C-alpha cells in the first residue's frame, strides 16, 4: 500500500534534514503506530505520507514514495488526499465550517460529489461510528472528544484507503480515548489501513500490528505485535516511551478538608451565565504535596483551578491560604497557573528573557534564572525563542517561570498532554523536587501514568447535582 524508499526530507528553513533515509512499508489493512521522542520526525513523516511535505510545507525531498502502486512524485495534494484521510492534532484549527454536518461534507464537496451521494455517505459513516447525535450541531459548543469524532467521520466520508492520525488522544479524557479506540477498531475491521502517530500507547496496544520507533529522523526499531506486547517496562523506559498498559493507581483519595491545610477551598460556587459549573465544592491541599485532580471532561476541573488561583471570582464560598480568606487578586499574586496551551503564555524573545519578564533588573535575579535554566535542562536553549521550543521544553520553561516568582502554589492544567514517555517522567521528577522544596502543587490531569509517578494524592471531581 505504502512504500517509502530512502526518503529524506529537509524543511526549507532548516539546516538539518528532519527525515533521513527512511525505509518504510505498510501493507493494506495494517495498523501501524509511529512513536518516538518529540523531535524524532514522526509528524514530518506523516506530512510526507499525506503529501503536505513538500507541497504545502516547502522543502527538499529525496527518495521514492509509492502509494498503492503509484509514484507520488507527480501527484497533487488533492490526488493524494483522495487516498489518504487525515485527522490532525488540534481540533480548534482543523475545522473550517461552523456546523458539524458541513464539516463532515467538506471533503466531498471539494470533490464535487452529488448532494444525494453526500447525504448517503454521511448517514453511512454516522451509523458506522455511532455519532448520529453529533450531526447538525454548532462546533463552538462541543468538547474535544466530540470534535475528534467529527474529524474522523469527515476523513472517512470519502472512503480513503489509508487513515493517518496525528496524536489523536492528546486532548481526550480516558473515556473518550477508549471510544476512540473503539472507532479505530471498527475501521480496522472494515479493512482500512491505519497509521497513528502517538505518544500514548496503552489504548492502541491491542489494535496495532506493528509499532515503529523513530529517533532523530530515522527508524530506530520496529516491533511486530508479539514483540511489542513482550516489551518490558524497562525496555520501554529506555526507548523513552510510555507504557503499553495503564498502571493501577493506589494513591490516597483526598476527600474532605483538613484543618490547618495550606490551601482550603470552602463551599465554592461558580456560575457561568445560568449554568452552575462548580456547585459547593470543598477541598484542601498541603505544601510539599502534589495533588492530582481528575474527572471527566467538562466537569469543571480547569474552572476550579482558575477560581483557586484567582483568575475567576467565586460566586459564593471562599478560598483560603493558611486559613486566611484571599481576594482573587491576592490569589493571583500568590499562585501560578500553567494552562494547557503554552502558546498563550510565552512572551519573551529568548528563554532567559521569559523567566525575567517584568521582574526587574537585579543581578541576583539573572543568576537565579541561569540556575533554573540549568536545572530544567534548558541552558543550551537559553537564547532560543520560546515559541521555537518543543512542547516539553515549553512546559519546563513555564514551570521555571513559576519557580522564579517563588509563589507557594503551582497549578498545572494537563501538563503532559503531548509529552513522550521520557519527558513525562522527567517532569514528574521536577515536580517532585519542586514539591519537596515547599511548593503546593495541583495538577489537573487524565494521564494515569503520570499520576502514578508524580501524585501524592488524588481528588476526583464529580458533578453532583
Query: Do strands 275-285 and 409-413 pair parallel, antiparallel, or not at all (unpaired)?
Result: unpaired
Cβ–Cβ contacts within 10 Å for residue 301, how many? 25
> Quick check: 327 binds other proteins (CB under 8 A)?
no
Q: Which residues of 254-284 are buried (b: 16+ CB within 10 A; e: fewer)?
A: beebeeebbbbbbebebeeeeeebbeebebb
CB of residue 228 to other proteins, shortest distance in Å: 29
**Site map (CB under 8 A) of other proteins, residues 402-431, x = contact:** x--x-x------------------------
Choose the stretch contacting other proteins; rule: CB under 8 A; options: 216-224, 233-241, 337-345, 421-429.
Answer: 337-345
Q: Of the two residues 78 and 282, which places its CB atom closer to other proteins in the complex?
A: 78
> Quick check: 322 binds other proteins (CB under 8 A)?
no
Q: Which of 249, 276, 326, 346 binds other proteins (CB under 8 A)?
A: 346
Interacting positions 183-242 with other proteins (CB under 8 A): none
Interacting positions 102-131 with other proteins (CB under 8 A): 102-103, 105-115, 118-119
Q: Please list the residues that pair with 320 across neighbouring strands.
A: 264, 325
Residue 284, phi then psi, degrees to nearest 5: -150, 165
User: Residue 432: which residues within 8 A CB-CB, separation 6 or more?
Assistant: 290, 454
> Quick check: 302 binds other proteins (CB under 8 A)?
no
Q: Of the two residues 136 and 206, which places its CB atom closer to other proteins in the complex?
A: 136
> Quick check: 311 binds other proteins (CB under 8 A)?
yes
User: Residue 429: which residues within 8 A CB-CB, separation 6 or more?
Assistant: none
Q: Of the two residues 37 and 404, which places its CB atom closer to other proteins in the complex?
A: 404
Q: Where are the alpha helices (DSSP H) in 130-162?
A: 144-156
CB of residue 312 to other proteins, shortest distance in Å: 9
- Is 253 strand, coil or helix? strand
**Site map (CB under 8 A) of other proteins, residues 34-73, x = contact:** ----------------xxx-xxxxx---------------
Cα 162 off chain centre by: 23
Q: With CA atoms as reference, report the closest residue to 320 among 270, 278, 282.
A: 282
CA distances from 11 to 16, 33, 120, 218, 452 (A): 8, 24, 41, 16, 38
Q: Of the two residues 194 and 208, which places its CB atom closer to other proteins in the complex?
A: 194
Q: What is the C-alpha to C-alpha distance for residues 453 and 37, in angstroms, rounded to an integer?
A: 19
Contact 245, 202 (CB under 8 A): yes
**How many residues form the binding site for other proteins (CB under 8 A)?**
77
Q: Which of 5, 28, 92, 132 binds other proteins (CB under 8 A)?
A: 92
- Is 110 strand, coil or helix? helix
> Quick check: 304 binds other proteins (CB under 8 A)?
no
> Quick check: 275 binds other proteins (CB under 8 A)?
no
Q: What is the C-alpha to C-alpha distance for residues 14 and 56, in angstroms, rounded to an integer?
A: 15
Q: Of the two residues 181 and 332, which places its CB atom closer to other proteins in the complex?
A: 332
Choose the stretch contacting other proteins; rule: CB under 8 A; options: 31-39, 88-96, 288-296, 428-436.
Answer: 88-96
Q: Which of 251, 384, 422, 432 binds other proteins (CB under 8 A)?
A: 384
CB of residue 110 to other proteins, shortest distance in Å: 4
The owner of cell 456547585 is 279
Q: Of the two residues 161 and 457, which places its CB atom closer to other proteins in the complex?
A: 161
Interacting positions 144-163 with other proteins (CB under 8 A): 154
> Quick check: 382 binds other proteins (CB under 8 A)?
no
Q: Of the two residues 307 and 453, which places its CB atom closer to other proteins in the complex?
A: 307
Amino acid at each position: 500500500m505504502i512504500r517509502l524508499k530512502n526518503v529524506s526530507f529537509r524543511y526549507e528553513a532548516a539546516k538539518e534534514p528532519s527525515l533521513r533515509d527512511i525505509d518504510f512499508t505498510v501493507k493494506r489493512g495494517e495498523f501501524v503506530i509511529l512513536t518516538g521522542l518529540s523531535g524524532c520526525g514522526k509528524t514530518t513523516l506523516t506530512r510526507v505520507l499525506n503529501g503536505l511535505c513538500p507541497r504545502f510545507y516547502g522543502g527538499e525531498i529525496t527518495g521514492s514514495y509509492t502509494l498503492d502502486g503509484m509514484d507520488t512524485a507527480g501527484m497533487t495534494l488533492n490526488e493524494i488526499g483522495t487516498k489518504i484521510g487525515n485527522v490532525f492534532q488540534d481540533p480548534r484549527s482543523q475545522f473550517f465550517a461552523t456546523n458539524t454536518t458541513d464539516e463532515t461534507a467538506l471533503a466531498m464537496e471539494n470533490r464535487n460529489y452529488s448532494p444525494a451521494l453526500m447525504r448517503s455517505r454521511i448517514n453511512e459513516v454516522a451509523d458506522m461510528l455511532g455519532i448520529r447525535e453529533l450531526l447538525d450541531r454548532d462546533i463552538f459548543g462541543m468538547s474535544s472528544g466530540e470534535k475528534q469524532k467529527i474529524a474522523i467521520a469527515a476523513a472517512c466520508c470519502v472512503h480513503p484507503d489509508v487513515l493517518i492520525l496525528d496524536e489523536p488522544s492528546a486532548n481526550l479524557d480516558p473515556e473518550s480515548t477508549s471510544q476512540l479506540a473503539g472507532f479505530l477498531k471498527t475501521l480496522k475491521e472494515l479493512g482500512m489501513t491505519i497509521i497513528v502517530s502517538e505518544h500514548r500507547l496503552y489504548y492502541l496496544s491491542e489494535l496495532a500490528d506493528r509499532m515503529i520507533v523513530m529517533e532523530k529522523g530515522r527508524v530506530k526499531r520496529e516491533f511486530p505485535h508479539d514483540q511489542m506486547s513482550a516489551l518490558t517496562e524497562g525496555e520501554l523506559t529506555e526507548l523513552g516511551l510510555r507504557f503499553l498498559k495503564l498502571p493501577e493507581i493506589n494513591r490516597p483519595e483526598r476527600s474532605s478538608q483538613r484543618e490547618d491545610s495550606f490551601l482550603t477551598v470552602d463551599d465554592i460556587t461558580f456560575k457561568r451565565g445560568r449554568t452552575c459549573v462548580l456547585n459547593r465544592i470543598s477541598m484542601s491541599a498541603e505544601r510539599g504535596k502534589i495533588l492530582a485532580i481528575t474527572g471527566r471532561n467538562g466537569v469543571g476541573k480547569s474552572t476550579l483551578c482558575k477560581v483557586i488561583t484567582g483568575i475567576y471570582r467565586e460566586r459564593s464560598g471562599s478560598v483560603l491560604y493558611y486559613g486566611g480568606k484571599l481576594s482573587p487578586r491576592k490569589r493571583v499574586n500568590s499562585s501560578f497557573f500553567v494552562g494547557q496551551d503554552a502558546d498563550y503564555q510565552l512572551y519573551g524573545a529568548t528563554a532567559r528573557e521569559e523567566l525575567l519578564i517584568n521582574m526587574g533588573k537585579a543581578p541576583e535575579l539573572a543568576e537565579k534564572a541561569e540556575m533554573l535554566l540549568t536545572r530544567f535542562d534548558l541552558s543550551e536553549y537559553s537564547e532560543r525563542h520560546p515559541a521555537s521550543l518543543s512542547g516539553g521544553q515549553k512546559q519546563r520553561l513555564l514551570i521555571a517561570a513559576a519557580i522564579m516568582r517563588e509563589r507557594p502554589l503551582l497549578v498545572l492544567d494537563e501538563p503532559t498532554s503531548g509529552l513522550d514517555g521520557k519527558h513525562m517522567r522527567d517532569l514528574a521528577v521536577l515536580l517532585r523536587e519542586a514539591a519537596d522544596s515547599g511548593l503546593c502543587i495541583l495538577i489537573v490531569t487524565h494521564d494515569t501514568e503520570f499520576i502514578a509517578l508524580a501524585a501524592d494524592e488524588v481528588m476526583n471531581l464529580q458533578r453532583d447535582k
